[in-house]
Each structure stands twice: as C-alpha cells, then as structure tokens.
Chains A and B, each alone.
Chain A
Amino acid sequence: MSNKWTQDLPPVGGFPKLNYNRRAPVAISGYAIFGTFLVVTTVTTAIYFNEKIDRLNNQKEEKRRLSMILPILQAENDICFLASPHKNVYYTRWMPPQINKRQMAALPKH
C-alpha cells in the first residue's frame, strides 16, 4: 500500500535556473548608425547627381543632333503648306511654326 503512490519531486540538485531577466541584443551605438547613414546618403547622392548630369548632357547632345535635320523638316513643311489648298488664303491662314521676329531681332546685326 505504501508503494502505490510516489510523490513528484524535483530532480536531484534542483531544477535548472530560470533566466527571467530582460535579455537585449548588444546595442549598436548611435554614432555608428549615424555614420553609416551619412556614408550611404553621400554615396547615393553622388551617384544620382553624376547620372543626372550625364542624362542632361545626353539630352543636350540629342537635341543638337536633332536640330541638324531641322532645315530639311522646315523646308518640307513649307513646301507642303504652300502646295495645300490654303495657299491663297492670305493673312488669315495658319503658318507653320518658325523662327519669330522677336528671336530675329535678338540676333546680332552685321
């Protein structure tokens, strides 16, 4: 009768110690975070502006090259316009876009 029930007891030497303290990871210092931020921002800004300058220069070069075929397009446009039925409608007609008199006046005179 006495062997039928045994009391549930802790193991010999006791249970292992419970670590119930607050456990935070090792903190990165604010200086390190700020320095990383500064480096990353500086490098990316430099890359961005370099690419922007390249892009603008490419656009300028494209415009210059496109402007080299402008006389042909202008001349074709003029001829097509004069060959159109609007030919005889003087002074009230639509003109193709061209250099205007204000731009002409701004040019240096010989």
Chain B
Amino acid sequence: MENTSVEYLVSREPLWKVCEPVYEAFEKCKMENGDDPEKCLNRSTAVVGCATKVMREISSKCKSELDAAVKNCENNNNRTIGNEKEEAALTSCFDSKVFPKFC
C-alpha cells in the first residue's frame, strides 16, 4: 500500500486526529536522540504503520472524497489553500465512517 504525499497532505487532519501521540513520541525521540535514525526506529515504524493503517481505511471507505481532494490539490499546483471544501468533505466522511474504528 503506497500513498502519495498529496494524499497525506489532503488527509493531514484525519491523520493527526488518530496518530497525534505517535507523531509526538517520534518527534520527542528525534529531539532527544539527535540525528541517528537507528535510535528511533521503533517510533519511525509506529508512525509509518499508523499513517498506513489510517490511509488504508480512508482509501477504502472515503475513496471518492479523497480522490476529489487529491485531484483539486494537484490541479492547484499542490497547494491546499483553495482546497477547503474538498477537505471538509473528506474530514466529515472520515469522522462518520473511519474515526469510530480507531477510538
């Protein structure tokens, strides 16, 4: 399962809603242990795993909203500024269909 960075970008708020503790632990580990990737490998794996899980759910249950948001973002030179309507649709779909599974 591979996701593009634009897919991550348009679904950043759903991702943060679920994976915030994981992200924060990763960043804390990075700040404490410096620039060695080996010391935070567990955290890195957790971050990638969490993001992949959530993105898999979003791609299966909110595919049309995700595709619309990605298409609009890519047509807009990969800017998210004009993309609020599509992202709001994606977030509401996430809140109703995907988020109950993770909480």
Chain B binding surface, main DSSP class: helix
Q: A68-B12, A69-B8, A99-B30 are in contact. Are A79 and B35 (CB under 8 A)?
A: no
Is the CB–CB distance between A79 and B48 below 8 Å?
A: yes
Is the CB–CB distance between B41 and A78 below 8 Å?
A: yes
How many chain A residues have a CB neighbour from B under 8 Å?
26
B45 located at the interface, meaning its Cβ lies under 8 Å from any Cβ of chain A in the complex: yes
B92 located at the interface, meaning its Cβ lies under 8 Å from any Cβ of chain A in the complex: no
A72 located at the interface, meaning its Cβ lies under 8 Å from any Cβ of chain B in the complex: yes
The range of chain B's interface size is 20 to 34
Q: Which of A58, A72, A78, A101 contacts B40 (CB 8 A)?
A: A78
Bound Cα distance A77, B45 (Å): 11
CB-defined contacts of B44 to chain A, threshold 8 Å: 74-76, 78-79
B63-99 interface bits toward A, Cβ cutoff 8 Å, 1 = contact, 0 = none? 0000000000000000111000000000000000000
In the complex formed, the residue of A with least CB distance to B83 is A65
CB-defined contacts of B36 to chain A, threshold 8 Å: 95
A19 located at the interface, meaning its Cβ lies under 8 Å from any Cβ of chain B in the complex: no
Q: A72-B48, A99-B30 are in contact. Are A58 and B37 (CB under 8 A)?
A: no
Q: Can you list 7 A-B pairs, Cβ within 8 angstroms, ordered by A?
A: A72-B51, A74-B26, A79-B44, A79-B48, A95-B36, A100-B34, A100-B35
Residues of B at the A interface (CB closer than 8 Å) are 5, 8-9, 12-13, 15-16, 23, 26-27, 30-32, 34-38, 40-41, 43-45, 47-48, 51, 79-81
Residues of A at the B interface (CB closer than 8 Å) are 58, 61-62, 65-66, 68-69, 71-79, 81-82, 95-96, 98-101, 104, 107
